[in-house]
Structure 1
């Protein structure tokens, strides 16, 4: 293992070369599966999977609902690589390890990152089973100094001070909204702000009220750090949260929240989320990213 405080460009390159040497597939799209959402990887055609523990430098996933496999394959005719399970701060990993796969994806030739997660609802109008297209995020670990870009910057990945005002791609969000309407999902699709916290505990009532006042619509323990690194290295990003529970903002409510419950909601909405992501991938053209020129007008 490494006794240093970050992975170098050469470490990322070594991992990318190992993967490219073990598969003939060259992905344009990367998909990160959140808790209970690994079925996205199962929908890939011509699958070739690698266990994380066998990939040079890769951390291993320790959370139930995260299988710990990197799966290559085709979806809607597009070459994809899918993380069946991600890494988290609460597992004890520093953020430079949590986000390591993103830079590997960049070196594999990936252009678009689709990131999914399970999240709790802070917005009163969101219900368990709803989906939220992520418009923006609040990165609480980042605001407190826990940032995956901390330390020396390597210009081969990106600039020292990357902007995040457009972190979640406007055109891809417009495409997803259009697809949702066509599929009849409009009644349970929202667009909002995701807040990342460190975990592993779920939020207290006071914390939930605080996050709600900050403008967060949903809260979870992942995603923001991965998006920061993805934007740093020039990837286009689409984010989607599966709302698995309502976060308690009143002391009188019963606290029956559990990780098993989160996974159960994931199973309930599995086909819906898979269909939306599949249709979105089908709209991406590796050469100019959007296949339908009419869809581009939706984002203007």
Structure 2
């Protein structure tokens, strides 16, 4: 594959940079905090993301019938890298995990209700997979959804943990167990986070950022808010890992940190000797630079694979 941007792609990158220069705001951009879209919610940040929406840059890859541009994923990648490079909010889970999954398997009702709001940046989501006994192994989740035929829906009971943005999001994209087979008994639901029987309790990290425990106590969810088919939630979660890879994780912060380290090594001394003259340090820096370049190129390969309809290589 060609790792160089086309003239159109370079032009788009320049347009994005001009837009960011024109909208520079310390309340929006902070390179000391990673992925502000996931951890910070302020009026200034929401207003900025509405400006991004007004540019037509949310849902670039979505089909035109749902307000998108049927564009190539490389443009989402360019946009997200530029935002990450400024320490700004990124397009993230609304456009990626939620939006693209709804486009793939959501009902017409869910598409009509949520997709326009996502494109206008009028809704924030939290994602609930992790539990006290189900971290990286999402198939082990135990939050229980019990069928309630009399009301045409489900009763959810249990706990999620490490749910970043649950304290300010409006909707919870949550997986719950609806049957016993480990990988074939999970269903995805959309639940309003202002539900009176949902409790959100803050957890403060070592970096002084907030994440959350979320508790469900007989929370009723109507059938209309089941995402896709019952018991296929784990499959949808897995598919979404490919749908959102280049809208959730970015290379720019890695590159910036490597640049800072390189500048330090170039000028620092130890016992009046240049650190850059130490062969062990030089070897380590060469290794880090090589690994960073590999990471950048792998990111571009993921974008290229996604555009061809495949998963990550």
Q: Please indicate the TM-score interval, normalised by the length of the shorter structure.
A: under 0.3
State the TM-score, normalized to the length of structure 2.
0.25
> RCO greater where, 1 or 2, for CA within 8 Å and sep 6 or more?
1
State the TM-score, normalized to the length of structure 1.
0.26
- Which of structures 1 and 2 has the bigger CA Rg? 2
